Amino acid sequence: MRKMAERSRRQAKALWYTGPQTIEIVEEVLPQQSLNLVELKTIASGISRGTEALVSNGLIPQSQFAQMRAPHQAGDFPFPVKYGYALVAQRQGGKGGHVFALHPHQDFVALAEDEITDIPESIPPTRAVLAANMETALNAVWDGAPLAATSIAVIGAGSVGCLIAYLCSQVAGTTVTLVDPLTSRRHIAETFGCSYSASTKGLGEQDLVFHCSATQAGLADALSLCRFEGTVMECSWFGAKAPSVPLGETFHSKRLRLVSSQVGAVAPAMRASTTHRQRLQKAIALLDDPRLDVLLGPPIPFMEAPQKLPSIFKDVQSSPFQCLVYP
């Protein structure tokens, strides 16, 4: 009986993208028990609509297959692939608090201690799934270096765009506008103390613009909003798209800066003093604010994900971030 219980405990169920808009729950076996591995029971995992919609539709460019691999990903792009990067779990046996790990969606996992990060007790698991996206937003804000008493626009109110607006709004004296055609995002902007606009018309020139819409039109709007010698932080990932960048008109005469921000490397301003692990710890600490729950849609039971996620990926009106919860 003891051997049967151990064998059962090492079984796991994982979410796999097996074809365009086709998702399956697949049974797997955890790695053999080892003193170097910590067995974890998953409580929640996060679905970032933008990235995982690209994965679900097979739209990861071949040139980016290696760069887009997530930690502990199994399979290869485009399909079949086990993908995800925001998992909150409890150590088996209930010892210790909740932990965060960069791992695909799976009900039980076994990881090394240095691959998991403790979550403060004050942060609920369903909010802690935002850690990876908060880390991306934090890195973008470090790259953009917003100054006090300046005007900032964030174009695109997905999860990362909303989190960037949230962070920028806490810089003293800034006026932050979240721009998105979805009027349902107004509530998010107001919750974070930001202004909301459905378009860039009438906003006036901005000192700093973060572009997060992953659309060609959004990028053009971002460049048009910048003041003389202003900066556009390009935070979008376009996948297989090849957007046209409008470098005519006033781009040169206004001496604009178009700068890429990507989470794979710590922002240069902080790289000498902050490791990747420390950056993640800082991002998790920033989640200790109940206002951030406004970004989360209704939790989805893990076993219902194959049926529910395809429609969520198509529904632009859905919440910026979805959370899977595990039995």
The structural domain count of the chain equals 2
In a domain, 277, yes or no: no
Q: Are residues 226 and 246 in the same domain?
A: yes
What's the pLDDT tens digit per position in 86-120?
999 999 876 778 999 999 999 999 999 999 999 99
In a domain, 94, yes or no: yes
Q: Are residues 265 and 245 in the same domain?
A: yes
What pLDDT does 5 receive?
43
> What single DSSP character describes residue 290?
G
Q: Are residues 85 and 145 in the same domain?
A: no
| pLDDT higher at 282 or 321 | 282
4 pLDDT above the threshold of 90? no
Q: Are residues 80 and 157 in the same domain?
A: no
Task: List the CATH number of the domain containing 29.
Answer: 3.90.180.10
Q: Are residues 43 and 96 in the same domain?
A: yes
Q: Are residues 192 and 248 in the same domain?
A: yes
Beta-strand relationship, 98-101 and 108-112: unpaired
> Do 304 and 327 meet the contact criterion of CB atoms below 8 Å apart?
no
> Do 145 and 170 meet the contact criterion of CB atoms below 8 Å apart?
no
6 pLDDT above the threshold of 80? no
In a domain, 278, yes or no: no
- Which residues span the domain enclosing 304? 2-130+296-325
Q: Tell me the CA end-to-end span of the chain in Å, nearest whole number.
A: 24
309 pLDDT above the threshold of 60? yes
Considering only CA atoms, which of 249, 244, 241 is closest in space to residue 225? 249
| pLDDT higher at 281 or 61 | 281
Considering only CA atoms, which of 225, 234, 229 is closest in space to residue 140? 234
Q: Are residues 75 and 10 in the same domain?
A: yes
Write down the mean pLDDT value for the chain: 93
> Do 101 and 112 meet the contact criterion of CB atoms below 8 Å apart?
no
> Do 206 and 151 meet the contact criterion of CB atoms below 8 Å apart?
yes
Q: What pLDDT band is residue 8 in, cutting at 50, 70 and 90?
A: very low
What's the pLDDT tens digit per position in 253-273?
999 999 999 999 999 999 999
> Do 231 and 223 meet the contact criterion of CB atoms below 8 Å apart?
no
Q: Are residues 143 and 253 in the same domain?
A: yes
The per-residue b/e assignment along 40-62, b for 16 or more CB within 10 angstroms, e otherwise, is: bbbbbbbbbbbbbbbbbbbebbe
Q: Are residues 138 and 258 in the same domain?
A: yes
Q: What is the C-alpha separation between 169 and 172, in angstroms, rounded?
A: 8
188 pLDDT above the threshold of 50? yes
The single-letter code of the amino acid at 320 is P
In a domain, 316, yes or no: yes
Record the tokens describing residue 93, joined without a space.
């046996």
Average pLDDT over residues 181-205: 97
The single-letter code of the amino acid at 151 is S
Q: Are residues 188 and 261 in the same domain?
A: yes
Residue 257 has φ and ψ, to the nearest 5°, of -115, 125
In a domain, 87, yes or no: yes
What pLDDT does 2 receive?
42
In a domain, 290, yes or no: no
> Do 114 and 278 meet the contact criterion of CB atoms below 8 Å apart?
no
232 pLDDT above the threshold of 50? yes
Q: Are residues 126 and 145 in the same domain?
A: no
In a domain, 279, yes or no: no
Task: List the CATH number of the domain containing 203.
Answer: 3.40.50.720
Q: Are residues 174 and 101 in the same domain?
A: no
Average pLDDT over residues 125-150: 97
What's the pLDDT tens digit per position in 269-280?
999 999 999 999
In a domain, 211, yes or no: yes
Q: What is the C-alpha separation between 172 and 155, in angstroms, rounded?
A: 21
The single-letter code of the amino acid at 213 is S
Q: What is the C-alpha separation between 270 and 261, in angstroms, rounded?
A: 13
